[in-house]
């Protein structure tokens, strides 16, 4: 009796083993891609071939060229003698403007969200509406592969694009100014690129969350854009209203003033674009040594000079973690919603 | 020492490829599937027959882990789709009610994608997809974008898609919807052939009794979330008409599924 059961069990195990071998070996001995990679590759191909992406590339390339042009034409005025940032003039390419055209960093902080939203707002709902979600989910893959692979693919596309733009600006600078960036400047630009990717990733995840929440891609896109508009237009207004009414009188104690200023900063830092612009400022303007109020005591003895890269990175750490946690929060919410959802066709 | 019941359990695991026990699914107050018990044996073609809204699709979704049961258990190929969905989906092919494809890819490319998700290499995926395209009668259409496929062509491609993974079980949710009568015949013949040749178990939901009667070894009649009767057509008739005093088969030698179906749905049989 034992033997029957053992034989049955062994047969069971054997058949499983054969199945898994069958899955791993191919007749031609080619390597087999992990399903996750298969999905990522398809999604990336979809993005790159889509009209949406081509239009986005066109917009962003044009604005980059525009901001580069203003930066280069104003370059000589922007570099002043005795400027504590004088040695970092290569970085100015990213930040200077003559007032007619925003700088490259401002463009990224403005268009980055649009890029993230555009690549994510129909991630899940369009699969559902096409009836492909049920079919995908009946393949032997974990459910989270779909959402993770979509995020990974969009992020990969965004990373390539932003890196290319960063290199483009550097290349143009090299060509027109004729002086290569120093190692420090180069590292700052690298970190700035990583930061921009993180910033776009935040908006990407938010729009993926909306694509899980709303069945209609148009609704998802509009909601994501509404959040973006809220943060870039209305939220600063609201903060202004609040802080105006709470502003301490000029006779208030310095402690009171500092407390108020810090309160205002906390409110501001709930905005992802505020976090991004603070972090870019620190990274690309090395003379910035504090993002909050400084007391006279703190200022006394401080030499007006650029911060070393390590110090700048330490300073942006809270902003970076803020952005990262925002990204993770929307990811977790969409994950939970998606994992538990019933998938009916259409 | 292993006891007899334990061995028995192992034997039944391999015999009953699908096993539902007390399966329940509620939507708020509404119970879509109500303590359903059902066992389907390896190699059989089982028809789940029921009117619209009976809970057929809901039951199928729970077999694949695409919906979570509120009560009861499901075992498919010896695995629990709630805790082990990937193992179940490795072995089960599922054709959803309204199958969708990536419209900007050709039929061939869609199948290749599915094959690659199932662990085929690029070359093997191509071979396999080509083979199946021919098998379901879409030869010559494989390079057309699926957005330009007709309803019936999509349905055929859907069947090919289900077969890509070389499944042990295929679950088809109203697969003949939108296929022309000749196509339905072919489609059903293909299913029967597959089942017989490759010992594939087929679960097939429908409200077309004639189709179910044509191909199914056994039928389950499913109304309002409850399975009212299970068996082959003749034994269903026996179950049903025994109660009303007529000796089975005395007046008619052969009951058709029509008699049974209408008896349940329109005849007002008092359920329970
Ligand atoms: N998300 C939902 N919320 C509430 N009720 C639902 C939901 N999904 C399905 N139902 C209900 O569950 C019941 C069973 O639905 P199901 O789709 O399983 O029926 P079916 O037997 O497949 O019908 P059909 O033959 O029309 O495909 C229906 O009454 C339906 O209204
Ligand atoms: Mg249905």
Could you write out the DSSP letters of every residue in B172-219? Answer: EESTTTT--HHHHHHHHHHHHHHHHHH--EEEEEES-HHHHHHH-SEE
Contact across the interface for B100 and A141, Cβ inside 8 Å: no
pLDDT for the residue A206: 95
Q: Say yes or no to pLDDT of A49 above 70.
A: yes
Distance CA(B122)–CA(B124), nearest Å, equals 6
Task: For B218, list phi and psi in degrees, rounded to 5.
Answer: -135, 155
pLDDT for the residue A242: 86
Distance CA(B203)–CA(B184), nearest Å, equals 16
Residue A205, CA distances (Å) to A137, A336, B46, B146 in order? 21, 13, 43, 30
CB A109 within 8 A of CB A103: no
| Terminal alpha carbon distance of chain A | 51
More confident residue, A4 or B20: B20
H or E element at residue B229: strand B226-231
- For residue B233, give the nearest of B206, B208, B212 by alpha carbon: B212
Q: Say yes or no to pLDDT of A14 above 50.
A: no
Of A1, A38, A345, the CB nearest to B98: A345
Question: Counting atoms of ligand 1 from 1, which one is nearest the CA of B225?
Answer: 14
Residue B267, CA distances (Å) to B55, B253, B262 in order? 21, 21, 6
Is A9 an 8 Å CB contact of chain B? yes
Distance CA(A75)–CA(B25), nearest Å, equals 69
pLDDT for the residue B270: 43
Beta bridge partners of B169: B92, B201
A95-116 residues labelled b (16+ CB within 10 A) or e (exposed): bbbeeebbbbbbbbbebbbbbb
Residues in chain B: 272
A65-120 tens-digit pLDDT: 888 888 777 777 766 655 555 566 777 777 777 777 778 888 888 889 999 999 99
CB A202 within 8 A of CB A116: yes
Distance of CA B27 to the CA centre of its chain: 23
Task: For B113, list phi and psi in degrees, rounded to 5.
Answer: -60, -45
B42: how many CB neighbours lie within 10 A of its CB? Answer: 15
CB A346 within 8 A of CB A129: yes
Is A253 an 8 Å CB contact of chain B? no
pLDDT for the residue B208: 79
Distance CA(A88)–CA(A91), nearest Å, equals 6
CB A256 within 8 A of CB A248: yes
Q: Name the minimum distance, in Å, from the CA of A24 to any CA of chain B.
A: 7
**Does the interface predicted TM-score (ipTM) exceed 0.85?**
no
Instruction: Using a cut of 0.90, tell me whether the model's pTM lies above it.
Output: no
Percent of chain A with pLDDT over 70: 81
Residue A60, CA distances (Å) to A104, A160, A206, B148 in order? 10, 13, 21, 34
Q: Which residues of B touch A38 (CB under 8 A)?
A: 113, 116-117
Distance of CA B173 to the CA centre of its chain: 6
Closest-CA residue, ligand 1 atom 7, reads B27
A294: how many CB neighbours lie within 10 A of its CB? Answer: 12
Q: Name the minimum distance, in Å, from the CA of A48 to any CA of chain B.
A: 14
Contact across the interface for A12 and B1, Cβ inside 8 Å: no
CB B167 within 8 A of CB B8: no
Kindly tell me the burial class for residue A296, based on how many C-beta atoms sit within 10 Å of its own C-beta (0-12, 13-18, 19 or more). exposed
More confident residue, A2 or B259: B259
pLDDT for the residue B14: 47
H or E element at residue A229: helix A217-229
pLDDT for the residue A19: 46
CB B89 within 8 A of CB A138: yes
Distance CA(B57)–CA(B69), nearest Å, equals 13
Distance CA(A219)–CA(A212), nearest Å, equals 11
Classified as helix, coil or strand, B81 is coil
Contact across the interface for A35 and B116, Cβ inside 8 Å: yes
| Terminal alpha carbon distance of chain B | 43
A269-328 tens-digit pLDDT: 888 888 888 888 888 777 765 666 655 566 565 556 677 777 778 878 888 888 899 899
Could you write out the DSSP letters of every residue in B24-65? Answer: EEEETTEEEEEEEEEEEETT-EEEEE--TTSSHHHHHHHHTT
Tokens standing for A165?
A: 């733009």
Q: Is the CB of B53 under 6 A from ligand 1?
A: yes
CB B31 within 8 A of CB B225: yes
Tokens standing for B143?
A: 């390079």
CB A224 within 8 A of CB A210: yes
pLDDT for the residue A304: 60
Is A3 an 8 Å CB contact of chain B? no
Tokens standing for A212?
A: 């899980």
Tens-of-pLDDT digits for all 272 residues of chain B? 445 555 555 544 447 899 999 999 999 999 999 999 999 999 899 999 888 888 999 999 999 999 999 999 999 999 999 999 999 999 999 999 888 999 999 999 999 999 999 999 999 999 999 999 998 888 898 899 999 998 888 988 999 999 999 999 999 998 888 788 888 888 888 889 888 888 899 998 988 777 888 888 898 988 888 888 888 877 776 766 665 544 444 444 455 666 666 666 554 444 43
């Amino acid at each position: 009796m034992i033997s029957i059961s053992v034989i049955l069990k062994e047969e069971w195990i054997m058949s499983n083993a054969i199945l898994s071998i069958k899955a791993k070996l191919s007749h031609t001995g080619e390597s087999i891609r992990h399903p996750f990679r298969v999905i990522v590759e398809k999604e990336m191909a979809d993005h790159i071939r889509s009209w949406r992406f081509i239009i986005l590339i066109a917009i962003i390339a044009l604005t980059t060229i525009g901001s580069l042009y203003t930066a280069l034409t104003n370059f000589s005025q922007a570099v002043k003698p005795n400027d504590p940032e004088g040695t970092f003039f290569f970085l100015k390419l990213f930040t200077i403007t003559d007032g007619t055209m925003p700088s490259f960093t401002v463009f990224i902080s403005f268009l980055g969200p649009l890029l993230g939203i555009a690549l994510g707002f129909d991630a899940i709902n369009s699969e559902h509406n096409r009836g492909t979600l049920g079919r995908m989910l009946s393949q032997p893959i974990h459910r989270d592969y779909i959402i993770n692979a979509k995020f990974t693919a969009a992020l990969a596309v965004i990373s390539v694009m932003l890196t290319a733009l960063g290199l483009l600006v550097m290349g143009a600078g090299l060509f027109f100014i004729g002086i290569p960036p120093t190692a420090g400047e180069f590292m700052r630009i690298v970190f700035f690129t990583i930061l921009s990717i993180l910033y776009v990733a935040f908006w990407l995840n938010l729009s993926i969350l909306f694509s899980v929440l709303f069945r209609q891609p148009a609704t998802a896109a509009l909601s994501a854009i509404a959040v973006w508009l809220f943060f870039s237009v209305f939220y600063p207004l609201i903060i202004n209203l609040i802080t105006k009414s709470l502003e301490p009188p000029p006779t208030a104690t310095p402690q009171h003033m500092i407390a108020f200023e810090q309160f205002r900063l906390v409110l501001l830092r709930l905005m992802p674009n505020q976090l991004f612009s603070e972090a870019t400022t620190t990274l690309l303007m090395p003379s910035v040594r504090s993002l909050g109020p400084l007391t006279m005591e703190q200022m006394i003895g401080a030499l007006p000079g650029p911060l070393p890269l390590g110090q700048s990175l330490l300073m942006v750490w809270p902003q970076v973690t803020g952005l990262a946690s925002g990204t993770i929060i929307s990811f977790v919410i969409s994950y939970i919603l998606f994992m538990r959802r019933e998938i009916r066709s259409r | 020492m292993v006891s007899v019941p334990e061995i028995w359990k192992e034997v039944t695991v391999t015999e009953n490829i699908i096993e539902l026990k007390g399966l329940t699914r509620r939507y708020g107050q509404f119970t879509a599937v109500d303590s359903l018990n059902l066992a389907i044996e390896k190699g059989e073609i089982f028809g789940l027959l029921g009117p619209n809204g009976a809970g057929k699709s809901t039951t199928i979704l729970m077999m694949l882990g695409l919906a979570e049961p509120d009560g009861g258990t499901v075992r498919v190929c010896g695995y629990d789709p709630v805790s082990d969905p990937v193992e179940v989906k490795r072995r089960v092919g599922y054709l959803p009610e309204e199958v969708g494809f990536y419209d900007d890819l050709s039929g061939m490319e869609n199948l290749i994608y599915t094959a690659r998700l199932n662990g085929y290499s690029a070359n093997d995926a191509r071979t396999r997809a080509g083979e199946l395209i021919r098998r379901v009668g879409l030869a010559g259409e494989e390079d057309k974008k699926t957005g330009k496929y007709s309803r019936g062509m999509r349905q055929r491609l859907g069947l090919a898609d289900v077969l890509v993974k070389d499944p042990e079980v295929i679950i088809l949710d109203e697969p003949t919807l939108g296929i022309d009568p000749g196509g339905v015949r072919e489609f059903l013949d293909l299913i029967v052939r597959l089942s017989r040749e490759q010992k594939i178990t087929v679960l097939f939901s429908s409200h077309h009794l004639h189709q179910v009667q044509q191909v199914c070894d056994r039928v389950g009649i499913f109304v309002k979330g409850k399975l009212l009767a299970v068996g082959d057509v003749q034994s269903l008739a026996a179950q049903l008409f025994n109660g009303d005093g007529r000796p089975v088969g005395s007046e008619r030698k052969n009951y058709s599924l029509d008699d049974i179906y209408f008896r349940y749905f329109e005849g007002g049989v008092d359920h329970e």
